[in-house]
Amino acid sequence: MTHQRVLNVSGGFNFRELGGYPTADGKTIKWQRVIRTATLAHLTDADQQLLLDYGIKYDVDFRSNDEVTKAPDQIPAVIDYQHLPVFPEDKTQASKTEAEIKAELQYKRENGRQHMIDTYREMIELPQSHDAYRQFFNTLLNNTNGDGVLFHCTAGKDRTGMGAVFFLSALGVDHDLIRQDYLLTNQTLSPLIQNRLTKARENGMTGSVLESLKALISVSGDYFDTAMATIQADYGDMNQFLTEALSLSTTEINDLKQLYLTK
């Protein structure tokens, strides 16, 4: 069977496999076990069947209560839905329209890039974020039947991006490869990003406000590096973050490797 990194889902976007990545000890992440995505609010019946055929059993939703209320996931009833909000509201701005973003940027001193850097720092520091990602790992650890786990937010880039970073790190994937997976979002979302920027220009958005919008709707090596620097400053390294902030024991990390890596 030919496996794909980016999955084609007609009513969704940024659907990506985390299978196939090698680890430092020479193993490989199993395919069809963990996928990261953007919103599931617009899935067609065929898309929902695709999730079932793919083996997805768990849907972990990192969005805020308000985002879930406005755009609930459209998934088959047999999939176990778990709502684990990383933030009390959508700090990533992914669920905001261009008009809402423009209005906010005009009265805020903080630009889009700085807002995202602050958001990534908070994802590392906030207890609510720790709790959400810890429960995400509980789902991964409890998945002992070889089913598929899907996790997502609105754009599948920030809260989902860091969830992937923590998962891949726990399994022992190389740091540079983890960063590469994180930045792949800019390729998979490129048509949507360009479309939003084009519409914003047509609606008169220019200069620093347009740059701020671009910063909000894409990912950046700066955001990733901010998260890593915060981890280093607060915990020493990623392993200590997983142990202290997310309460992952050595036994649990070994269990994850047993569940998700090839022998």
Q: How confident is the model at residue 117 (pLDDT cuts 50, 70, 90)?
A: very high
Is the confidence at residue 95, as pLDDT, over 80? no
Q: What is the pLDDT of residue 108?
A: 54
Whether 189 contacts 88, CB under 8 Å: no
Q: What is the pLDDT of residue 111?
A: 83
Distance (Å, rounded) from C-alpha 215 to C-alpha 234?
26
CA angle 61, 66, 72 (to 5 degrees): 50
Three-state SS for 126?
coil
Is the confidence at residue 228, as pLDDT, over 70? yes
Instruction: Compute, in degrees rounded to 10, the torsion defined by CA atoms 144, 161, 163, 174.
Output: 80
CA angle 151, 34, 67 (to 5 degrees): 5
Is the confidence at residue 89, as pLDDT, over 90? no
Distance (Å, rounded) from C-alpha 131 to C-alpha 124?
11
Which domains are delineated in the chain?
A: 16-260 (3.90.190.10)
pLDDT (tens digit, 9 = 90+) per residue, 163-214?
999 999 999 999 999 999 999 999 999 999 999 999 989 988 888 888 988 9
Whether 95 contacts 154, CB under 8 Å: yes
pLDDT (tens digit, 9 = 90+) per residue, 124-156?
999 999 999 999 999 999 999 999 999 999 999
Q: List beta partners, residue 80.
A: 58
The alpha carbon of residue 254 and the mean position of all alpha carbons in its chain are separated, in whole angstroms, by 23
Q: What is the pLDDT of residue 208?
A: 85
Q: What is the pLDDT of residue 104?
A: 58
Is the confidence at residue 107, as pLDDT, over 80? no
Mean pLDDT of 102-126: 80
Q: How confident is the model at residue 225 (pLDDT cuts 50, 70, 90)?
A: very high
Q: What is the pLDDT of residue 112?
A: 86
57: nearest Cα among 142, 165, 159:
142
Please tell me the chain's helix, strand, coil percentages from 3-state DSSP, rounded to the nearest 5.
55, 10, 35
More confident site: 89 or 119: 119
Q: What DSSP string describes 33-53?
A: SEEEES--TT--HHHHHHHHH
> In the 3-class helix/strand/coil scheme, how is 191-227 assigned residue by residue?
HHHHHHHHHHHHCCCCHHHHHHHHHHHCCCHHHHHHH
Q: What is the pLDDT of residue 105?
A: 53
Three-state SS for 4?
coil
Which residue type, as a one-letter code, is found at position 237?
A: D
pTM of the model: 0.92
